[in-house]
């Protein structure tokens, strides 16, 4: 039958028809991009493809309910959604597939991520925030299965904070907390722990989140019966359904080919989430995957003929087309004409993107060929250079790596020559690499004026008779200053709120600032970090507390794959200045005193990793970071909260510098580098060594990422000519990272009279109790004997052997 000429919004049939045909144009465009995208991979123009075919129609419905200010946290099958919002066109789609390094042409990541990873730009060129309420927003995708879920929780929580914490200036970030966070995930990926942890947390917290599960009955080649209890995620999660007596989720189920039902489901979900701040799960069933999981394989290998026929018959685009014809919105011939135009448009887009991708490479190739011709004419190795030139000319579609490789190989043939042609090649290679390398390596850390390493150091000030207080009091009172100064600052974690954290570093602050700013969470480290990432993406200044350093392993995937890469993978177009607070080092027990610093400094490049030796230094780091816009991990010394420190009189103001070491004790015989709790033992041993005539220089690393930007350690080694790193990480861990930096990068080997050495923990987790600590990690006697042995080797007469 013909649809009623009036809809719920009282639009004319003509307008209704126009909207339907626009939606059909988008789904056909998206499908054609998927089909041609697969061919581009199979012909070798693109490296890999994973597309949104079979999921087009529900994404149209989602886009229709998505408003300015809303945020998406999705995954790599959402191209139709982005196209429906006008945030992605066919040319940009193919630029993403080809990995074009021009952000204007490939605005999703400038080729740093494979196609199918989507984002919008939250930042201006100077790193300042755009007005996020006047645009539709997509947080930057990651490939990791269900990795988008923790961040989704924080994006939704931000709306709750903005609606309920009235002292925050939400200008540019929120309008009364009305924004919805929209998540998408494949049905198989709901098997991941990230999904369940996020679902539970969202139900507890009651945040405006709509999560769509695209259900095509498979996860790669594995059917739903192996993924999900009852083979049905919404059936499985019925216990989350809210009722008259209990808060929870609203759960909706809709078929992915039913256009009108999808529109109504998404309108309903949006209203519930936006108005009531209730999370909603939309289980979209009976979807298909026409080209299989990705370009890496074919679904004909694992689907039956019956299943393949069902997928053909129930393809959402096909069913949408049939509905349009059946309801006389357009004729079959009209749709054929439209489809023909779309296919030609997409083919033209593909050609345009490939031509734009190749153009600068071909120009550079011509330049390099001319340089090699001139070089060959002046070099004794003419035959070799001519061969290189011919091989380069034979490459019809050159890449940057081809240009880099051929030019650098050519330099080998003119080693020792001195000619204008050689100098020209040298200059070309240098210019090319200076232009090319940043396209792949920039924006790991902030590059603007408010970067953390640019915050000026401010020393703590003390009254003449400064009171000696527990270190935790300095932290507490400093946090009080920060929460008063920054209305958008908040902190949350296990035991963080009511009791003021397990070490009382937040004592009394929840009563003062309220349960939304000083908040308790459940035991769920991954989504604690996700809360922080999402809220930081929306302009808040969150501090996410992980109770102990060992527990950070629960959240490591989210920290490493999402937070640490965010600035890099968005080429500086999104930022999440999240501070992660934890405590660790030298307690007692396998899971309460680990120090996996080597793992962290390698897995978390993109964060600052800070290891203060006391609470004054830690407080200064928090002050520094709140002045900057970068994420960081601060590891407080677990055994330092009750140690006495003089109370500064400029709390909230003094700033510990990031990327600088501190010389704690000057000495002449050997440079000893350490950090955190172990540094205090080194300080103790330094005084004991004086009794045997050894004067050591003690340096506190303070900041591991970045480390020693001013090269102070090597300056110390120039004086002492000996170097030891004392570290409670395992052998080959953080100590090796520090030695490599000092000896290799900074060239300290030139000033050493003895081999650089490390003293580390045993290669196992620390055993329990005081004896376990003593025999597992470097103790005072270990440190004394290690330093003495180095001096014995250098001067056995003055330092005779112990044995």
Report how far residue 764's alpha carbon sits from residue 717's, in angstroms, rounded to the nearest whole number. Answer: 31
Please, what is the angle between helix 56-65 and helix 316-326, to 10°? 70
Residue pair 615/636 in contact (Cβ under 8 Å)? The answer is: yes
Structure tokens at 654: 């003094």
For residue 663, list its beta bridge partners.
Answer: 699
Q: Which of 264, 361, 592, 792 is catalytic?
A: 592
Residue pair 56/49 in contact (Cβ under 8 Å)? The answer is: no
How many residues in total does the chain contain?
803
102: exposed, middle or buried (Cβ count in 10 Å: 0-12, 13-18, 19+): middle
The secondary structure of 51-99, three-state, reads CCCCCHHHHHHHHHHCCCCCEEECCCCCHHHHHHCCCCCHHHHHHHHHC
Alpha carbon distances (Å) from 346 to 85, 87, 319, 390: 18, 16, 22, 35
Distance of CA 799 to the CA centre of its chain: 51
**Given CA atoms 587, 589, 591, 595 in this order, what sign does their dihedral have?**
positive
For residue 725, list its beta bridge partners.
Answer: 673, 758
Residue pair 763/597 in contact (Cβ under 8 Å)? The answer is: no
Residue pair 133/69 in contact (Cβ under 8 Å)? The answer is: yes
The CA angle 467-468-474, to the nearest 5 degrees, is 95
Report how far residue 789's alpha carbon sits from residue 792's, in angstroms, rounded to the nearest whole number. Answer: 5
Residue pair 761/774 in contact (Cβ under 8 Å)? The answer is: no
Query: Is 592 an active-site residue?
Result: yes
Alpha carbon distances (Å) from 551 to 34, 151, 422, 608, 776: 41, 19, 56, 19, 20
Report how far residue 563's alpha carbon sits from residue 577's, in angstroms, rounded to the nearest whole number. Answer: 9
The residue whose two tokens read 């998206």 is 30
For 70: left if phi > 0, alpha if psi spans -120 to 50, otherwise beta; the answer is beta
Taking Cα atoms as reference points, which of 688, 718, 714, 682 lies closest to residue 700? 682
The secondary structure of 480-518, three-state, reads HHHHHHCCCEEEEECCCCCCCCCCCCCCCHHHHHCCCCE
List the beta strands (DSSP E) in 651-755. Answer: 662-665, 670-674, 696-700, 703-705, 723-726
Report how far residue 580's alpha carbon sits from residue 634's, in angstroms, rounded to the nearest whole number. Answer: 6
Alpha carbon distances (Å) from 695 to 7, 433, 669, 692, 711: 86, 47, 5, 9, 21
The CA angle 557-562-568, to the nearest 5 degrees, is 135
The residue whose two tokens read 């930081």 is 536
Q: How many CB atoms lie within 10 A of CB 452?
A: 25
Taking Cα atoms as reference points, which of 666, 667, 665, 670 lies closest to residue 680? 665
Please, what is the angle between helix 13-42 and helix 90-98, to 10°? 20
Which contiguous run of DSSP H or E holds residue 543?
strand 541-545
Name the residues annotated as catalytic: 592
């Amino acid at each position: 039958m013909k649809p009623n000429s009036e809809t719920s919004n009282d639009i004319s049939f003509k307008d209704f028809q126009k909207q339907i045909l626009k939606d059909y144009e988008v789904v056909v465009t998206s499908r054609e991009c998927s089909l041609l995208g697969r061919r581009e991979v199979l012909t070798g123009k693109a490296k890999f493809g994973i597309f949104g075919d079979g999921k087009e129609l529900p994404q149209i419905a989602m886009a229709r309910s998505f408003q300015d200010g809303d945020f998406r946290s999705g995954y790599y099958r959402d191209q139709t959604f982005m196209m429906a919002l006008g945030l992605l066109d066919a040319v940009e789609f193919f630029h993403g597939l080809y990995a074009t390094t021009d952000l204007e042409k490939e605005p999703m990541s400038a080729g740093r991520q494979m196609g199918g990873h989507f984002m919008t730009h939250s930042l201006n060129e100077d790193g300042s925030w755009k007005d996020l309420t006047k645009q539709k927003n997509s947080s930057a995708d990651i490939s990791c299965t269900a990795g988008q879920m923790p961040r989704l929780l924080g994006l939704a929580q931000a709306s709750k904070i903005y609606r309920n914490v009235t002292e925050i200036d939400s200008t540019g970030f929120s309008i009364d907390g009305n924004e919805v966070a929209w998540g998408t995930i494949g049905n198989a990926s709901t098997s991941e722990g990230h999904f369940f942890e996020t679902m539970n947390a969202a139900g507890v917290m009651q945040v405006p989140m709509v999560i769509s599960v695209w259900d095509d009955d498979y996860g790669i080649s594995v059917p739903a019966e192996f993924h999900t209890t009852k083979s049905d995620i919404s059936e499985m999660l019925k216990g989350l359904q809210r009722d008259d007596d209990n808060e929870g989720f609203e759960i909706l189920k809709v078929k992915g080919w039913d256009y009108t039902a999808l529109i109504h489901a998404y309108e309903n979900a949006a209203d519930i989430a936006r108005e009531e701040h209730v999370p909603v799960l939309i289980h979209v069933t009976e979807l298909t995957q026409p080209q299989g999981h990705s370009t890496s394989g074919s679904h004909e290998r694992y689907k039956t003929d019956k299943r393949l026929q069902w997928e053909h018959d129930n393809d959402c685009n096909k069913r949408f087309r049939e509905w349009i014809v059946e309801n006389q919105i357009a004729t079959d011939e009209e749709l054929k004409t439209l489809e023909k135009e779309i296919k030609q448009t997409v083919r033209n887009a593909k050609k345009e993107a490939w031509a734009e991708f190749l153009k600068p490479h071909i120009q550079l190739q011509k330049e390099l060929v001319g340089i090699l011709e001139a070089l060959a004419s002046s070099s004794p190795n003419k035959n070799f250079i001519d061969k290189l030139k011919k091989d380069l000319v034979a490459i019809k579609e050159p890449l940057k790596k081809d240009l880099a490789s051929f030019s650098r190989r050519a330099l080998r043939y003119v080693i020792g020559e001195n000619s204008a042609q050689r100098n020209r090649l040298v200059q070309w290679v240098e210019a090319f690499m200076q232009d090319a390398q940043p396209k792949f390596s920039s924006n790991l850390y902030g590059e603007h004026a408010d970067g953390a390493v640019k915050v000026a150091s401010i020393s703590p000030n003390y009254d003449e008779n400064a009171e000696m207080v527990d270190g935790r009091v300095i932290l507490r009172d400093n946090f009080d200053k920060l929460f008063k100064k920054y209305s958008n600052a908040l902190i949350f974690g296990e035991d963080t709120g009511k009791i003021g954290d397990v070490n009382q570093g937040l004592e009394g602050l929840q009563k003062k600032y309220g349960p939304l700013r000083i908040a308790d969470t459940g035991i769920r480290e991954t989504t604690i970090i996700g809360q922080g990432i999402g809220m930081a993406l929306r302009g808040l200044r969150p501090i996410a507390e992980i109770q102990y350093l060992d527990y950070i392993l629960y959240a490591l995937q989210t920290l490493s794959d999402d937070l640490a890469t965010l600035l890099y993978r968005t080429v500086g177009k999104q930022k999440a200045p999240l501070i992660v607070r934890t405590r660790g080092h030298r307690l007692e027990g396998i899971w309460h005193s680990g120090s996996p610093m080597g793992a962290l400094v390698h897995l978390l490049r993109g964060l600052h990793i800070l290891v203060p030796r006391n609470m004054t230094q830690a407080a200064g780091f928090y002050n520094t970071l709140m002045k900057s816009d970068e994420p960081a991990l601060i590891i407080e010394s677990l055994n330092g909260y009750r140690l006495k420190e003089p109370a500064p009189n400029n709390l909230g103001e003094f700033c510990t510098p990031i990327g600088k070491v501190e010389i704690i004790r000057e000495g002449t015989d050997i440079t000893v580098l350490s950090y955190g709790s172990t540094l205090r033992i080194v300080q103790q041993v330094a005084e004991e060594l004086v009794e045997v005539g050894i004067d050591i220089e003690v340096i506190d690393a303070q900041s591991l990422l970045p480390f020693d930007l001013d090269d102070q350690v090597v300056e110390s080694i120039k004086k002492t000519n000996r170097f030891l790193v004392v570290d409670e990480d395992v052998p080959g861990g953080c100590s090796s990272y520090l030695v490599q930096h000092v000896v290799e990068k900074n060239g300290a080997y030139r000033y050493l009279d003895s081999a650089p050495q490390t003293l580390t923990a045993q290669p196992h987790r620390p055993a329990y109790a005081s004896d376990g600590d003593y025999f597992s990690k470097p103790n005072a006697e270990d440190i004394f004997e290690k330093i003495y042995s180095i001096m014995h080797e250098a001067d056995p007469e003055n330092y005779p052997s112990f044995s």
